[in-house]
Amino acid sequence: AEAYNAAVAGAKALNAFVIETPDHALAAADQADRDRAGGTLKPLSGVPIGMKDLFATKGVQTTAGSHMLEGFTPVYESTVSQRLWDAGAGMLGKLNMDQFAMGSSNETSYFGNVISPWRRGDGGNAPLAPGGSSGGSSAAVAARLCPGATGTDTGGSIRQPAAFTGISGIKPTYGRCSRWGIVAFSSSLDQAGPMARDVRDCAILLEAMSGFDPKDSTSLQMDVPAWDANLSADLRGKKVGIPKEYRIDGIPAEIDRAWEQGIAWAKDAGAEIVEISLPHTKYALPTYYIIAPAEASSNLARYDGVRYGQRVAGEGSGTGAGLAEMYKATRAAGFGAEVKRRIMIGTYVLSAGFYDAYFNQAQKVRALIARDFQKAFETVDVILTPTAPSASFALGEKSADPIAMYLNDVFAVPASLAGLPAMSVPAALDDQGLPLGLQIIGRAFDEQGVLNAGLAIE
């Protein structure tokens, strides 16, 4: 009992869950027993899944990591979570995350940061960031609290936390997973995907999560391929591209070593390695940090104290002027500092005087970035890069410097802007024994190619 209690306390100390829903998971386990007896087992029968708290879950609080939505209980279920329950899975709880999915370290959560289960090997005991924004998901899977979790990825939020915690995660092609019932951050970029211990589990989960949904106007009208059944680590006849623009100055040598190791593994699996160029890569980060805040400022306009969650009465409550004051007071109290920063950047770049200089320009550069990939994929089948420019960092290390935090997304955002499938797989440990991930980017709709290359490398 003592060991059990210590394990439970250790698990809770990670702060990975905002709320726990053991009844949901137990009901799925009971159903799995009945299905086994009846010979009607489903692909995920009885599997306990952690749900990032960005997915609306019927009757279960959905906060998006924010004070704004604290106490908000949806009356509907997101399409992705519904698909998981239909496949037999159960929900263990709602996972902590950066507020409205804005962040790379989980420190913007209203419910306190998640702590990575990893520690530096030199005895430095500073708690480490699990990555973000899906940091509850990465910590829960890495700590073996659940075999799989959902994440969402707008500019790296599945891949970077997977890399920081030594697990796998895939962001599918934009449109594969329905966005219906996922709290919107940047609608042209947001994609759901699975995070799990290995590539095969990601393939199984992604199959359950994907599929056309008439409730999402950007949902792909395509059949879901049998990714799991067609997994193969044989890369003979495949070409793996290495983009020279991802070799940026100041990257720790151990990231380069992990990349070289990944290249060697791809070769061992039969692939031909090809140097490629993605010339607009250096514009991806500034382009992302214009487009994502612009769309966020629009999406977050709906939190006005009337429709969802928090309401704070402002001055003059009960009078005509009270309404505007109520909006102000609610938004001032409900949003955290990073969310306010994004809303201000977003409204600025969309404003009449600056729209052409920023938002419009960013849309054009986004098209150039997508074209770079299109050209590269005329020659190669997948592209291999590091997932992030560093291993996990100490909590607090970058939280006072937004630019340093944003720089962590440098390798993740290009594939997001192009809407391409991209995955992170664990590849190596750094000098401190911390995990490093490698990213595989694929052609649109070619999750299979991405998963297969991931299998060869993990």
Please identify every residue annotated as catalytic.
Answer: 52, 133, 157
Task: Select the span of 98-106, 255-263, 417-425, 434-442 touching ligand GLN (CB under 6 A).
Answer: 98-106
Contact 179, 210 (CB under 8 A): no
To the nearest 10°, the Cα dihedral for 120, 124, 126, 131? -20
CA–CA gap between residue 28 and residue 125 (Å, rounded): 38
Task: Select the span of 154-162, 176-184, 208-216, 446-454 touching ligand GLN (CB under 6 A).
Answer: 154-162
Residue with tokens 């664990």: 426
Contact 387, 412 (CB under 8 A): yes
Task: Select the span of 147-155, 343-351, 353-361, 380-388 touching ligand GLN (CB under 6 A).
Answer: 147-155
If binding means CB under 6 A, how many residues of this protein chain bind ligand GLN?
Answer: 13
What is residue 246's DSSP assignment?
G
| Binding status of residue 153 toward ligand GLN by CB under 6 A | yes
Q: Which residue is nearest to ligand GLN (CB)?
A: 157
Burial 125-139 (b: 16+ CB within 10 A, else e): eebbbbbbbbbbbbb
CA–CA gap between residue 14 and residue 143 (Å, rounded): 9
CB of residue 409 vs ligand GLN: minimum separation in angstroms?
5
Which residues lie below 8 Å from residue 105, measured CB to CB, with a gap of 6+? 98, 113, 129, 130, 131, 132, 135, 393, 395, 398, 399, 405, 408
**Residue among 142 and 292 whose Cβ is closer to ligand GLN:** 292
**Residue among 157 and 392 whose Cβ is closer to ligand GLN:** 157
Interaction mask 283-322, ligand GLN, x per CB under 6 A: ---------x------------------------------
Positions in 367-426 near ligand GLN (CB under 6 A)? 409
| Binding status of residue 107 toward ligand GLN by CB under 6 A | no
Task: Select the span of 25-33, 96-104, 113-121, 262-270 touching ligand GLN (CB under 6 A).
Answer: 96-104
CA–CA gap between residue 264 and residue 254 (Å, rounded): 15
Among 63, 109, 113, 157, contact with ligand GLN (rule: CB under 6 A): 157
Please report, for residues 346, 350, 395, the alpha-carbon distance to residue 405 in angstroms, rounded to integers and kept in the order given. Answer: 18, 23, 11
Among 46, 156, 193, 437, contact with ligand GLN (rule: CB under 6 A): 156
Among 101, 114, 199, 453, contact with ligand GLN (rule: CB under 6 A): 101
Interaction mask 123-142, ligand GLN, x per CB under 6 A: ----------x---------
Task: By CB under 6 A, name the binding residues for ligand GLN.
Answer: 101-104, 133, 153-157, 185, 292, 409
